[in-house]
Amino acid sequence: MTELRTLKVALLGCGNVGAQVARILIEDADALAARTGAHLQLNGIAVRNVNSKRDVELPQELFTTDAETLVKDADLVIELMGGIEPARTLILSALRNGACVVTGNKALLAQDGPTLYEEADKAGLQLSYEAAVAGAIPILRPIRDSLAGDRITRVLGIVNGTTNFILDQMDSTGAQFADALAEAQRLGYAEADPTADVEGHDAAAKAAILASLSFHTRFALENVHCEGITSVSAADIAAAKDAGFVIKLLAIAEKLTDADGGEGVSVRVHPTLLPREHPLAAVRGAFNAVFIEAENAGELMFYGQGAGGTPTASAVLGDLVSAARRLVLGGPGRTETTTGHVPALPIDSAVTSYYIGLDVADQPGVLARIAQLFAEHGVSIEIMRQTIHTDAASKVESAELRIVTHRASEAALAATVEAVKGLDVINSVTSVLRVEGV
């Protein structure tokens, strides 16, 4: 039998994900050697504090605070520290020293991905980041490889488990946002500072990565329009439910063609109404899913655990095995293609259906005036429903109007809503939410 080559692995970070990666590297060493054709030897683990208690019992001599030296003597570097620095400098240093890199760091990729991709390209090395989007779910490699011969037209993703858990709680229990967030924090689904999740920043970083791979063009965080879920109320959820919809925070990347045939990509994150029968509506709790529409493949859905140390470690190990096989077999690193050159569109160009809730005076002719205003702005109404309420004390009657429009541009919708607000019969605009999947 031929002697297997040894590949030296440096692990940067030993937190939720890193500890599980270290465990699998040690426990499954034989299986990994059989699959890669090389012994994957864990040379060391860089952390801030070598004496911290870890989720997994690991040999103490592996730990170091000297990440730079560890990286310089590695064939494969796994970056699971998170944050921008020193992760960025260490990844660049690894690539300059000839190592392939695996990372799960979506924040870094969204902020400075191009610098890292170019360094990997220049060195002919592999930089893989499957764990950066939707944890355990294999989604980036299917987009990059399996769908490389197709044309993706649209990607809709539930890519943040915290916000999906909160919205699901609100939908199933009627809870307000603050109570659902507190429950998510109690169960460990939300961090003490939940800003990155609930404001949509985490989903926006993933949207930029999904859009870049899907449309063969590099999109940065600044190309992503981002709205979080903090303003979604229990009343919005109840009204959506009543009308047959569920509210999800979606990361959306879609190709749009304007009247002159010009193409662009709209990349955005916002709360979205989905019909309850849409496959993404069935994604409950903290689960993630990505729904893809492609010209030839049609509709595809990828579902699974979007976070957690062990599930995310699965995606990291998949990338590691792929990079190790490449080192064993030779050949350049697999990279994404950037031949698309499609511009990112501003949010005003996005085209979608809308749900609009209005509190209106109960007077004759109101519905006709509102319908006419919509028509004047080029927004056509698909469904209009009215419910009458009587104030118990004053006995004054008001009507709640729920409108679902046909597809229209954001610009046309914004102008319509502004005009509606100016009508004397409108008490308030109670909600304006985008609708997909109709």
Contact residues: ligand NAP, CB under 6 A: 13-18, 46-49, 52, 67, 80-82, 86, 104-106, 131, 135, 307-308, 312
Instruction: Supply the minimum distance, in Å, between the C-beta of residue 17 and ligand NAP.
Output: 4
Instruction: Supply the minimum distance, in Å, between the C-beta of residue 19 and ligand NAP.
Output: 8
Residue with smaller CB distance to ligand NAP, 10 or 99: 10
Neighbours of 284 (CB within 10 A): 14
Instruction: Supply the minimum distance, in Å, between the C-beta of residue 67 and ligand NAP.
Output: 5
- Judge residue 392's burial from the number of C-beta atoms within 10 Å of its C-beta, 0-12 exposed, 13-18 middle, 19 or more buried: exposed
Residue with smaller CB distance to ligand NAP, 58 or 155: 58
Peptide linkage before 271 cis (omega within 30 of 0): no
Residue with smaller CB distance to ligand NAP, 75 or 130: 130
C-alpha–C-alpha distance, residues 398 and 133, integer Å: 46
Residue with smaller CB distance to ligand NAP, 22 or 370: 22
Catalytic one of 53, 122, 206, 248: 206
Instruction: Supply the minimum distance, in Å, between the C-beta of residue 300 and ligand NAP.
Output: 22
Q: Quick check: is 206 catalytic?
A: yes
Give the 3-state DSSP-derived string for the chain, with helices as H, strands as E and coil as C: CCCCEEEEEEEECCCHHHHHHHHHHHHCHHHHHHHHCEEEEEEEEECCCCCCCCCCCCCHHHEECCHHHHHHCCCEEEECCCCCCCHHHHHHHHHHCCCEEEECCHHHHHHHHHHHHHHHHHHCCCEECHHHCCCCCCCHHHHHHHCCCCCEEEEEEECCHHHHHHHHHHHHHCCCHHHHHHHHHHCCCCCCCCHHHHCCHHHHHHHHHHHHHHHCCCCCHHHCEECCCCCCCHHHHHHHHHCCEEEEEEEEEEEEECCCCCEEEEEEEEEEEEECCCHHHHCCCCEEEEEEEECCCEEEEEEEECCCHHHHHHHHHHHHHHHHHHHHHCCCCCCCCCCCCCCECCHHHCEEEEEEEEEEECCCCHHHHHHHHHHHCCCCEEEEEEEEEECCCCCCEEEEEEEEECCEEHHHHHHHHHHHHCCCCEEEEEEEEEECCC
Residue with smaller CB distance to ligand NAP, 91 or 265: 91
Instruction: Supply the minimum distance, in Å, between the C-beta of residue 104 and ligand NAP.
Output: 3
- Give the closest residue to 184 by CA, choosing from 166, 207, 206: 166
Residue with smaller CB distance to ligand NAP, 19 or 404: 19
Measuring CA to CA, how many Å separate 333 from each of 62, 100, 327, 385? 28, 8, 9, 56
Residue with smaller CB distance to ligand NAP, 62 or 358: 62
Return the structure tokens found at 273. Answer: 């109404």
Instruction: Supply the minimum distance, in Å, between the C-beta of residue 48 and ligand NAP.
Output: 4
Instruction: Supply the minimum distance, in Å, between the C-beta of residue 134 and ligand NAP.
Output: 8
Instruction: Supply the minimum distance, in Å, between the C-beta of residue 308 and ligand NAP.
Output: 5
Residue with smaller CB distance to ligand NAP, 59 or 262: 59
Active site residues: 206
